Amino acid sequence: MAVENGVENVTRWTRKDLLSIEELSREEIELVLKTAESFKEVSAREVKKVPALRGKTIANLFFEPSTRTRTSFEVAAKRLSADTINFSSSGSSTSKGESLSDTAKNIEAMHVDTIVMRHSSSGAAVHLARSIKAGVINAGDGIHEHPTQGLLDIFTMKERKHKIEGLKVCLIGDILHSRVARSNIWGLKKLGAKVTVCGPPTLIPPGIERLGVEVSYDLDKVIEHQDVLNILRIQLERQRGAFFPSIREYAAEYGLSKERMKRAKKDVIIMHPGPINRGVELAAEVADGPQSVILDQVTNGVAVRMAVLFHTTMVER
């Protein structure tokens, strides 16, 4: 909800899909965050369940292995009393050459209300939403976006820092191949944060500064100004594309070590979407240290996904 001139504008959610943060307005982002706040309390109760989505069916359609995101969505759906079904690519008909829209239409024919999809192709969620009437939530599409991760990151930053406007956030690592980075950038910029992306020149995508971010190749130069360090997972298989010569050199230049942390603000918070390569992008002591909010991100992920499932599934179709 946006407050302008002291008058509260009630934002109504009108989307059956959540495909990207790019498509959301500032008000829509704020609405999800507010709803997530109230759902967060549900998970702390003795009886962790509300009947908000009773009688609704949510399908998890995962074409890429992902334990944490799938589990987080499943827990979120169950806490809202929805029925959940899981499809994963191995053993499903896609391995027999069925097209994505055919697979989805089959699931939809079982009267599923909302499909949560993880897919290795950028734009797969947009494509799916065009082909079916059920709602689609993008749980990560290629290197495009991972909107619920972006929202839970912002939720966690807001929880810790009490504001997003003016907050200095640095995304560190493989920006080129990161859907988390793109979702963070869109959301943070819409809410007025100052965003820096920092990584080796080979892993900074062309034209990224046009999204309103600062670009740096030197972590030591930018670390001291930041309120939030959001560390991206380095995908070890990327080494084959000649993006960087060795894990060792990557860790030396961009890894968040105890030593490097000395240059950071005392109250900086450390985030990571997981799973962590300990000793590569993040030293074990830092990951487990007092500034780390990595497990809060996991907890908040459930609340944010409850909010997203609630709004998209309950929208008038």
Partner 1 sequence: MKTVLVKGGRVVDPKNKLDGVMDVLIEGDRIKKVAPQIAVKADAEMNAKGKVVTPGLIDIHVHFRQPGFEYKETVETGLRAAAKGGFTGVCPMPNTSPVSDRRSDMEFLVGEAKRLSMGRVWPVGAVTLKQEGKELTEFGELKKGGAVALSDDGRPISDSNILRRALEYSRKFDLVLMVHCQDEELFCNGCMNEGFVSTQLGLPGIPVEAESVEVARDIQLADLTGGRLHFCHISSKKSLELIRQAKAQGSRVTAETCPHYFHLTDEAVLNYNTYAKMNPPLRTQADVEAIKRALKDGTLDAISTDHAPHSESEKDSEFDKAPFGIIGLETSLALSLKLVEEGVLTWPDLVRKMSLAPAGIIGIDRGHLSEGAWADVTVIDPAAEWAVDREKFESKSRNSPFLGWKMKGRATDVFCEGRHVLRNGEFPKGSS
Residues marked active site are found at 68-69, 96, 118, 146
Binding flag, residue 99, partner 1 (CB under 8 A): yes
Q: Quick one: 55 or 206, whose CB is closer to partner 1?
A: 206
Query: Does residue 127 interact with partner 1 by CB under 8 A?
Result: yes
Q: Please report how close the Cβ of residue 77 comes to partner 1 at its closest, in angstroms.
A: 25
For residue 66, state whether it binds partner 1 (rule: CB under 8 A).
no
Which one of the spans 29-37, 202-210, 265-273, 297-305 is the region binding partner 1 (CB under 8 A)? 202-210
Per-residue contact string for residues 213-242; x = within reach of partner 1 by CB under 8 A: ----------------------------x-
Name the one range near partner 1 by CB under 8 A: 66-74, 139-147, 266-274, 300-308: 139-147
- Residue 52 lies near partner 1 (rule: CB under 8 A): no
User: Residue 207, interface with partner 1 (CB under 8 A)?
Assistant: yes
Q: Which of 50, 64, 105, 123 binds partner 1 (CB under 8 A)?
A: 123
The 3-class SS string of the chain reads CEEECCEEECCCCCCCCECCCCCCCHHHHHHHHHHHHHHHHHHCCCCCCCCCCCCCEEEEEECCCCHHHHHHHHHHHHHCCCEEEEEECCCCHHHHCCCHHHHHHHHHCCCCCEEEEEECCCCHHHHHHHHCCCEEEEEEECCCECHHHHHHHHHHHHHHHCCCCCCEEEEECCCCCCHHHHHHHHHHHHCCCEEEEECCHHHCCCCHHHHCCEEECCHHHHHHHCCEEEECCCCHHHHHHCCCCCHHHHHHHHCECHHHHCCCCCCCEEECCCCCCECCCECHHHHCCCCECHHHHHHHHHHHHHHHHHHHHHCCC
**Min CB(123)–partner 1 separation in Å:** 3
22 binds partner 1 (CB under 8 A): yes
Instruction: Figure out which of the listed residues 2, 50, 75, 100 binds partner 1, where binding follows CB under 8 A.
Output: 100
* Binding-site ranges for partner 1 (CB under 8 A): 22, 99-101, 119, 121-124, 126-127, 131, 141-145, 179, 182, 205-208, 210-211, 241
